[in-house]
Amino acid sequence: MAKILLIDDDHMLCEMVCRKLHTLGHETVSAHTLSHGLEAAFGATFDLLLLDVRLPDGSGLEALPQFRATEYRPEVIIITGEGDPEGAELALEIGAWDYIEKPLSMREITLQITRALEYRHEKMVCRPARLLRKDGIIGSDPKLEMCLESVARSAITVAPVLITGETGTGKELFARAVHDNSRRASGPFVVLDCATVPEKLVESMLFGHHQGAFTGADRTRDGLILQADNGTLFMDEVGELPPPIQKAFLRVLQERRFRPVGGSRELTSDFRLIAATNRDLETMVQGGQFRKDLLFRLKASAIHLPPLKERPTDIEVLALHYINVLCKRYGSVLKGVSPEFMQTLQDYVWPGNVRELINAIDCAIANAQGHEVLFPIHLPTAMRICLKRQTIRKNAAMAVSRAGTKTQESQLPSLKSSLEETEKWYLQSLMIRVHGDIKAACRVSGLSRSGLYARLKKYSIARPA
Ligand SMILES: Nc1ncnc2c1ncn2[C@@H]1O[C@H](COP(=O)(O)OP(=O)(O)OP(=O)(O)O)[C@@H](O)[C@H]1O
């Protein structure tokens, strides 16, 4: 899927072309003036521009160098009402893909768009993906490969990146990959976990503060925005950013200027923002908990990391990789893996994703001291119990259907409620097992602290006294 910007004052034409492009699976944005077109082109990353020559506020052809100079260097197809050989020559010289005269034949324009996107795919995606530094990223599932392509695309721009995905899917790892592959790789990579910083401190952590700005501010401190100058600021769990700070931060994103708490002078910082969240920011916008304009800025470039259960081929490679890493770390001989062990890993749903998988392998290696081969019994008990319950329920459901009983469909719980029930049971067992110790619960389950709290809240599970 490509992102295409149409700049033409003919509203009907835009609508027609957009409709066609949507059926081909592309995302489109339309602008009807040159200034709106430029604003859109600089505000997001486009693969392709369809650019009219005569626009109400200027010539698209004359502005072509500006469009080509945006960080992401989109391909450009010029569309014109009046064919002009000089204009066509100029357009091609500046690097336009083609120069097409109106009236547009839908067949021709679609063909040109497809060709231009194929060319771009070769140029921008395949090559960087091959050269991509992906230190520490393991896996070759097609879904993961697509994420790596997005990393390659994001790395060559300066636009903010929004990385979404469940807890433990590798959002921070991918954020580092974007940084390491960008021109800022030699600059700092500064992390702010918005979920763990108390609300009162977020402002001074981000913007810095002057000595005496508030009780406890015993000396002047630089904020993370300044520390990220010439580098990347990674805001983890960005959905937890308090609303007043969202507003102030949006201004920083737009103007690259900010004022430390208690300061009188504005400072500047040239940082690139990468934000991550496991929450649904669109829903938060609807609920008034997250600013729409901030979300719009953040998602100029978006990467969605699929949960581990949706990329089963990666489970085995990840498991083997981490068995190797952890055996080396503990100075033990490399352990073998029984087929049942691998099957158990494949069957499990991994709510804590890769982090949970690493913890399970860690636990298995510790439990298998004196054994050369890993068996399911070495895996965390809570995980095996959870799996067993899943299997028993699945078998029971299959038995019911095999016996051909007249069970009504409505008597079977929905998949969602069944998974929720299992999750609730798992969390209750977990909290009992770790005696309410949150740190231990995170370690065993592979959930992040915020992920665990959110789930405990969802199921109203109290920590045992
Ligand atoms: N594809 C992968 N290859 C190797 N290791 C991975 C991969 N994905 C995640 N990991 C490892 O899993 C652990 C969790 O990853 P990370 O902290 O990046 O997840 P996250 O999505 O940011 O989690 P959270 O939302 O809970 O903060 C880390 O140890 C990371 O190195």
3-state secondary structure of 166: coil
The answer to whether residue 247 scores a pLDDT higher than 80 is: yes
% of the chain exceeding 70 in pLDDT: 94
Which amino acid, residue 213? A
The answer to whether residue 383 scores a pLDDT higher than 80 is: yes
* 165 & 287 share domain: yes
The answer to whether residue 380 scores a pLDDT higher than 60 is: yes
- What is the tally of structural domains in the chain? 3
* 151 & 114 share domain: no
Domain boundary among 105, 128, 151: 128
pLDDT bracket for residue 127 (50, 70, 90): low
Centre of ligand 1 to C-alpha 225, Å, is: 24
Q: Tell me, yes or no, whether 134 lies in a domain.
A: no
* 251 & 358 share domain: no
Q: Tell me, yes or no, whether 135 lies in a domain.
A: no
**CATH code at position 355:** 1.10.8.60
Instruction: Give the pocket of ligand 1 (CB within 6 Å).
Output: 136-139, 165, 167-173, 236, 276, 278, 318, 354-355, 358, 448, 451
The answer to whether residue 217 scores a pLDDT higher than 90 is: no
**Residue 217, both tokens:** 């501010």
Q: Tell me, yes or no, whether 465 lies in a domain.
A: no
* 182 & 301 share domain: yes
pLDDT bracket for residue 69 (50, 70, 90): low
Domain boundary among 128, 163, 185: 128
* 323 & 193 share domain: no
Residue 405: the pLDDT is 60
* 164 & 59 share domain: no
Q: Which atom of ligand 1 is nearest to the CA of 447?
A: 26
Pocket test for ligand 1, best of 354, 361, 447 (most atoms within 8 A of CB): 354
* 291 & 317 share domain: no
Q: Tell me, yes or no, whether 464 lies in a domain.
A: no
* 267 & 347 share domain: no
Pocket test for ligand 1, best of 164, 173, 443 (most atoms within 8 A of CB): 173
**Mean per-residue pLDDT, 210-229:** 89
DSSP one-letter string for 6-69: EE-S-HHHHHHHHHHHHHTT-EEEEESSHHHHHHHHHHS--SEEEEESEETTEEHHHHHHHHHT
pLDDT bracket for residue 463 (50, 70, 90): confident
* 14 & 146 share domain: no
Which protein residue's CA is at the shortest distance from atom 16 of ligand 1? Answer: 170
pLDDT bracket for residue 239 (50, 70, 90): very high
**CATH code at position 94:** 3.40.50.2300
Distance CA 394, CA 400 (A): 10
Centre of ligand 1 to C-alpha 437, Å, is: 22
Domain boundary among 306, 334, 350: 306
* 7 & 109 share domain: yes
Residue 279: the pLDDT is 92
Question: Domain of 236?
Answer: 142-306
Pocket test for ligand 1, best of 146, 162, 164, 169 (most atoms within 8 A of CB): 169
Distance CA 30, CA 8 (A): 8
Q: Tell me, yes or no, whether 137 lies in a domain.
A: no
* 14 & 124 share domain: yes
* Selection from 109, 117, 143 nearest residue 312 by Cα: 143
Residue of higher predicted confidence among 83 and 283: 283
Cα 67 to chain centroid, rounded = 26
* 273 & 358 share domain: no
Cα dihedral across residues 51, 53, 58, 61: positive or negative? positive
Cross-strand bridge partners of residue 301: 161
Q: Dump pLDDT digits (tens) for 23-45.
A: 988 999 999 999 999 988 888 88
Distance CA 67, CA 91 (A): 12
Centre of ligand 1 to C-alpha 37, Å, is: 38
Residue 343: the pLDDT is 92
Residue spans of beta strands (DSSP E) within 219-349: 221-222, 232-236, 257-258, 267-268, 272-277, 301-304, 336-337
Residue 398: the pLDDT is 75
**Mean per-residue pLDDT, 356-369:** 95
- CB 226 within 8 Å of CB 269: yes
Query: Reading across the β-sheet that carries 161-164, which strands appear in turn?
Result: 189-193, 232-236, 272-277, 161-164, 301-304
Q: Dump pLDDT digits (tens) for 152-200.
A: 888 888 889 999 999 999 999 999 999 999 999 999 999 999 988 888 8
Asked if omega into 65 is within 30° of 0 (cis), the reply is no
Residue 465: the pLDDT is 61
**CATH code at position 147:** 3.40.50.300
Residue 86: the pLDDT is 73
